[in-house]
Amino acid sequence: MIDLAPYLPGFIAAYAILLVGAASPGPAVAMLLGISTVQGRGPALITCAGIATGSMTINLLTMIGIGLLLSQAAWAMNLLRLVGAAYLLWLAWGAFRKAINPPKVTVEAAPVQSAATLFTKGYLLQVTNPKAIAFWLAIAAVGAVNGAPTSVIAAFVAGAFVISFAMHAAWALVLSSRPVRAAYAGGRRWIEAGLGSFFTFAAFKLATAER
């Protein structure tokens, strides 16, 4: 039986950042809208699985790299924490800027493709996205699984996969409907303002947390 209780605060903090980050629209959203519109929601969900697997890959590589770094330098966590806070502030600035001038939600055209191609396309989009890599560095700065046994790390990675898949699937399923997409566009200003506020709060908590 895995005892997650000591790690729950870190899990909650990391998952909250991941949840809000995955909810922020980006290149993956445009691609998913195009696939769901042209090929249907099933192919879009396959692409979501590829995106979530790519996110899981970055998650694992980040934790391995951070673990090696921390084993060599005691000051590395403080530096990582400040870098993560700075990135969250950058995300907050981007969200507030979109709140002032909300961009249009557009659908990226996508030709009919096989399941393997769709999965690979989603995977490659995620693992080659510099924003996704920087975002996982910010999440790693929370230190949710620092010093945790393998079973706890596996549980954390599995939970992150579920969140990434669920949020991207929600984009594909909900915004593939034109009326819902129009309603979202109408409230985009307030949604972005809320995201900006959250990222600002998360950056402050991360930068001022005691280690």
Pull the structure tokens for residue 28: 């993956």
pLDDT of residue 76: 61
Query: Can you say how many angstroms the Cα of residue 178 is from the centroid of all Cα atoms in its chain?
Result: 24
| Residue 104 vs residue 134, higher pLDDT | 134
Q: Over pLDDT 70: what percentage of the chain? A: 71
Res. 123 pLDDT band, cuts 50 70 90:
very high
pLDDT of residue 46: 93
**For 15-39, how does the pLDDT look when each residue is reduced to its tens digit (9 = 90+)?**
888 887 777 766 677 677 777 766 7
Q: How many whole angstroms separate alpha carbon 104 and alpha carbon 3?
A: 45
Pull the structure tokens for residue 99: 């709140």
pLDDT of residue 50: 94
Query: Can you say how many angstroms the Cα of residue 152 is from the centroid of all Cα atoms in its chain?
Result: 20
Whole-number Cα distances in Å, 150 to 40, 122, 147, 156:
38, 27, 9, 10
Q: Which residues, other chains included, contact 183 with Cβ-Cβ below 8 Å and sequence gap of 6+?
A: none
Supply the mean pLDDT for the chain.
77
Res. 6 pLDDT band, cuts 50 70 90:
confident
Q: Specify which of 150-159, 185-194, 202-211 reaches the highest per-range mean pLDDT.
A: 150-159
Look up the pTM and report it. Answer: 0.69
Give the mean pLDDT of 161-190: 77
Report the 10 Å Cβ neighbour count for 132: 24
Is pLDDT above 90 for 121?
no
| Residue 156 vs residue 69, higher pLDDT | 156
Q: How many whole angstroms separate alpha carbon 99 and alpha carbon 101?
A: 6
Q: How many whole angstroms separate alpha carbon 146 and alpha carbon 143?
A: 5
Q: Which residues, other chains included, contact 71 with Cβ-Cβ below 8 Å and sequence gap of 6+?
A: none
pLDDT of residue 53: 95
**For 37-86, how does the pLDDT look when each residue is reduced to its tens digit (9 = 90+)?**
667 788 889 999 999 999 899 888 887 776 555 555 556 666 666 776 77
Report the 10 Å Cβ neighbour count for 194: 15
